[in-house]
Structure 1
Amino acid sequence: MPLGPVRPSPLVEQATERLRAQIVAGEWAVGARLPGETTLAAELGVGRSTVREALRGLAGEGFVRARQGAGVFVVSAEPVGEEWPARLRKAAVRDVYEVRMAVETHAARLAAERRTEADLTAIEAALAGRRAAAAEGDRALVEADIAFHAAVVGAAHNPVLAGLFADFVPVLREGLVELLALTRMREGDPGARDGAHEALVRAVREGDGAGAAEVVRGELEDPFGVAPG
C-alpha cells in the first residue's frame, strides 16, 4: 500500500496519521526498521523536519523507538498509552499558552541571570532574524519568533525547560500562524510586537531577571493583541 502525498496542512498531523496507519495495518511489522527520513519525506511529499516531528509523535505513542546510529524501529502495532507529546498535539492553543507562560517566564528570569556572551550573540541574531522574517509572511515570522524564544530559553541553561519548550513547538507553530491570520494584527503592527522582543533582549543583556520575566508575561498573556483560544 503506497503512502501517497499528504495535503498541505496540517502537515505533521497528516504525516503522523499516515505513518501510524501503515504500522497498524502491518505494512511495517514489529521489529522492522522504518525507511529513512529522506525516503519518507519524498513519499509523503513533505520536508524532513515534518517527518522528524511525526516520528517523534509516534515514539511518544509507543509505536516506534529510535536507536542511535541504527534508525527508527517499530516496537508496537498498538499505542502503549498517551504520553506528553501526544497530549500536547491534542491540546487547545489556550491550554498550551498557559503552560508555556510558566515555562518561559521562569526561563527568561534564569536567562538574565545565567546568559553568556555567546547566548547574547545568539539571542540578538535571532531578533535580527525575526525582524527580517517580518517581510516574508506570517509563517516565516512565526518560525523566526519561535527561534527567538528558543534562544532565550536556551540561555537559561536548563535542559528540562529547553525540552519542554521544544515539545510545545508543533502546537505553537500552527496555532500562531492561524492566530495571525485571524487577527490580521500585522496590518497595524508588521513587526508583531518587535518592541517587546527588543525589551526582552535588553533585560537579558542587563541581567534584569524580573524585567525579563515581566516582558514575557505581558506578551504571552495577550499574544498578538487577542486572547488565544
Structure 2
Amino acid sequence: MSAAPSRRPPLAQEITEELRREIASGRWAVGSRIPPEPQLIDRLGVSRGTLREAVKALAHAGLLEVRRGDGTYVRSTSEMAGTARRAYREYGEEQVFEVRFALDAQAARLAARAADDDDLAALRALLARRRVAWAEGDAEGWIAADWDFHLKVAEASGNPLLHELYGTFGDVFHGVKMKQRLRDGFDACRAAGHEDLVRAIAARDEDTAAATVLDNLRYCTTWMH
C-alpha cells in the first residue's frame, strides 16, 4: 500500500510564515516600513492576492500595520507583543492594572519559590540603580530601572511563558502613562513591592511576596488620574 502523499500548507500560509520570520529575525525592525509590494511579489514569486492575504493575516495578528497610501509597517515582533500594543490603545488604564495585579502577584509567588542567589543580587542592584536615578531627578532612568526590576522578578519566577508575557507589556505597564504619574507627592521609592518584595523572595515567603506587590499596585492606582 503506497504512502499517502504529503500535503503542503496553502501558499498564503507559507508566505505568511516567511514574512513572520523576517519580522522575528529583526531584519525588518519595529517601526520600519517593509519592502514595497512589487518588490516582495518579485522576490517571493507569488501573486498580489497571495501576498495581500499574508499581510492581512499578520496585520490581524498585530505584527504589521497597513497605512493607506503610505505602505505597511512593522508594529511588533510577535503576536503576543501585538496583543499588548492593542491593549495599550484599546483598553483603559484600570483594565490594564487589573491584568497587572494578576501577573505581578503570580510572578512574586513563583519567584519566592524559584529565585536563586544570582537573581537576588540582580534585583538588589536594580533597586540601587532605581534609588540613584530618583535621587538625581532622572525620571527616565527611574522608569527604566523600575521596569527592569519587575521584569527580573518575572524572569526569576522560573516560568518562561510568564516572563515573555510580562515583557510584552512594557509599553503598557511602563509607557508614557507611567511618566505622567510622577507628580509631586508620588513616593517613587516605596519599600512595598520592591525592597520588601526582595526580602520576601529571599525568605521563600510566597504569601508576603504577593501581598507586598499588591500593596504597591494599590498605591499606584491612586495616582492613575
**TM-score interval (norm. to shorter):** 0.5 to 0.7
Cα pair distance change 1:145/1:78, threshold 3 Å: closer
Cα pair distance change 1:206/1:61, threshold 3 Å: same
Tell me what 2:181 maps to.
Answer: 179
CA RMSD in angstroms, aligned pairs only: 3.5
Task: Tell me, in whole angstroms, the C-alpha distance in 1 between the residues paired with 2:217 and 2:94.
Answer: 10
Spell out structure 1 runs of 4+ moving beyond 3 A.
26-33, 57-60, 76-79
Identity of aligned residues (%): 30
Task: Tell me, in whole angstroms, the C-alpha distance in 1 between the residues paired with 2:185 and 2:40.
Answer: 49
Tell me if structure 2 keeps the 8 A contact 1:142–1:177.
yes
Q: Map 1:15-34 to 2 at 5 A.
A: 19=32, 22=33, 26=36, 29-30=39-40
Length, aligned pairs only: 170
1:118 aligns with 2:93: no
Tell me what 1:85 maps to.
Answer: 84
Q: Runs of 5+ in structure 1 lacking a partner?
A: 1-14, 34-56, 65-75
Tell me if structure 1 keeps the 8 A contact 2:105–2:211.
yes
Tell me what 2:96 maps to.
Answer: 96
Task: Tell me, in whole angstroms, the C-alpha distance in 1 between the residues paired with 2:172 and 2:39.
Answer: 30
Tell me if structure 2 keeps the 8 A contact 1:133–1:140.
yes
TM-score, normalised with respect to structure 2: 0.63
Tell me what 1:212 maps to.
Answer: 209
**Residue 179 of structure 1 aligns to which amino acid in structure 2?**
R
Q: Runs of 5+ in structure 2 lacking a partner?
A: 1-28, 44-57, 66-70
Q: Map 1:1-229 to 2 at 5 A.
A: 19=32, 22=33, 26=36, 29-30=39-40, 60-63=61-64, 77=72, 83-90=82-89, 91-134=91-134, 135-173=136-174, 174-180=176-182, 183-186=183-186, 189=187, 191-194=188-191, 196-223=193-220, 226-229=222-225
Task: Tell me, in whole angstroms, the C-alpha distance in 2 between the residues paired with 1:27 and 1:133.
Answer: 46
